[in-house]
Amino acid sequence: MGQVQFMRNLIIETPSVPGNFAKVAKAIGELEGDMGDIQTIKVGTLTTIRDIAISCANEEHLLKIVDAVNAIGGGISVHAVTDDVLQAHEGGKIHMKGRMEIRSLGDLRRVYTPGVANVCEVIKNDPDQARYFTGISNSVAIVTDGTAILGLGNIGPVAGMPVMEGKAVLFDQFAGISGVPILLDTSDPDQVVETVKHIHKGFGGILLEDIGSPHCFEIEERLKAELPIPVMHDDQHGTAVVTLASVISACQQSGVELADSVVGQIGLGAAGLAISRMLMEYGVKEMRGVDRNEEARNRLANHGGTVVDTIEELMETCDIIVATTGVAGLIKPEMVRKGQIILALSNPNAEITPEDALAAGAAFAADGRLVNNILGFPGIFRGALNANAKEITYPMLIAAAQAIVESTKPGDLVPHPLDPNVHQNVAAAVERVANS
């Protein structure tokens, strides 16, 4: 999960004869290019021009795809390669906008001076009234130090701003929450914690985003202990919620009882450890993990998990395998045990492809293309804010995962992230638990 893909749009012209677009799709697919949105730009008497979004490994991979399409012949050609991603980010993706229009002097007097002074007095006398008379209770700070941006690593907070803006857009679109990016020029846990403590009164919750391991663990634990508002590190718990939902869904489709299963986690970084802890909270029979990093192994042991020495040992002894290493092809087909459930979640290239895992005897296999944090964090914070919760607890997170499962259509692993129902259902489930 969280790896980078190279995205461009191809403007392709084909003769208006049935079957020509299928040739284009085949050429792209044979080179393992991933087609996204397809927009028909022009339908002429003789030819059709389409704008096709392509995800691939890198620029060299893209050029091979372009050459393959041009090599089809018969009037099929690539007219241009465009970068719609950069265009979409021009000027940024967010801006602050007022909820009230100022059209008269009366509006001005109510919204600002002198009327606003009355509201200030109300809040001064009863600070809890800020929940009703300001936007604080509907705002979440999206905090990053830029040390773990997607698969790019430590590129700094400013370079990570497009990701933070994206999170803000998702908060707004899926949960009606005002997300405010906060870029920190320090990774020192003491300084991060103190900074967030000093600004927290302007927010109803704190989302920690793309903060690297191991300092992310200390920062989250301290903020959760010291702040009276919900705090969640999305790379840990948002990932863990959607992964738990995926595991539950896979078990249901395979006839496996999760509570009776031994689960193995390959990779114990921020996401892997959080997934392990979530599964233990859910009540799996035993949680095992493997990682080359000694500190990571110790963290799992300290939380009650079992550390094993090798991937081979983990594969031999576990019923369900979850992998979040970012290492393509790490799981070899010969390691797969008949009847296992395997979720190899690294994007864009999984530790083992679902096809190879199933061919090797797995009962169920999936990669990380659909296992997206978008399914979790908007609804989790919406529910927590609605309930005026002081923290986000494991029962709330497990309820969120179960709501995702219940929103999943038969045959799917998880819901489509653009399905508004899943975000509403997650919010409702979290709110119920928070109020119980």
Give the other-Cβ count within 10 Å of 400's Cβ.
29
Residue 409 a catalytic site member: no
Query: What are the backbone angles phi and psi of residue 338, rounded to the nearest 5°?
Result: -55, 130
Q: Is the whole-model pTM more than 0.85?
A: yes
pLDDT higher than 70, residue 1: no
Give the other-Cβ count within 10 Å of 327's Cβ.
15
| Active-site residue, from 23, 42, 64, 167 | 167
- What is the band of 3 on the pLDDT scale with cuts at 50, 70, 90? low
The Cα 139–Cα 428 span in angstroms is 18
- Using only C-alpha atoms, the chain has a radius of gyration, in whole angstroms, of 24
Angle of helix 161-175 versus helix 377-386 axis, rounded to 10 = 60
The Cα 405–Cα 252 span in angstroms is 10
The residues pairing with 14 across neighbouring beta strands, listed in sequence order, are 48
Pair type for strands 341-344 and 306-307: unpaired
Write the pLDDT tens digit of every residue in 84-131: 888 888 889 999 888 889 999 999 999 999 999 999 999 999 999 999
- Residues 6+ positions from 389 with CB-CB distance below 8 Å: 230, 383, 396, 434
- What is the band of 368 on the pLDDT scale with cuts at 50, 70, 90? confident
| 160-183 average pLDDT score | 97
Residue 93 a catalytic site member: no
Tokens (6 digits) for 251: 């078990």
- Give percent above pLDDT 90 in the chain: 87
The Cα 390–Cα 300 span in angstroms is 27
Give the other-Cβ count within 10 Å of 325's Cβ.
23
Pair type for strands 231-233 and 205-208: parallel
| Active-site residue, from 26, 42, 112, 201 | 112
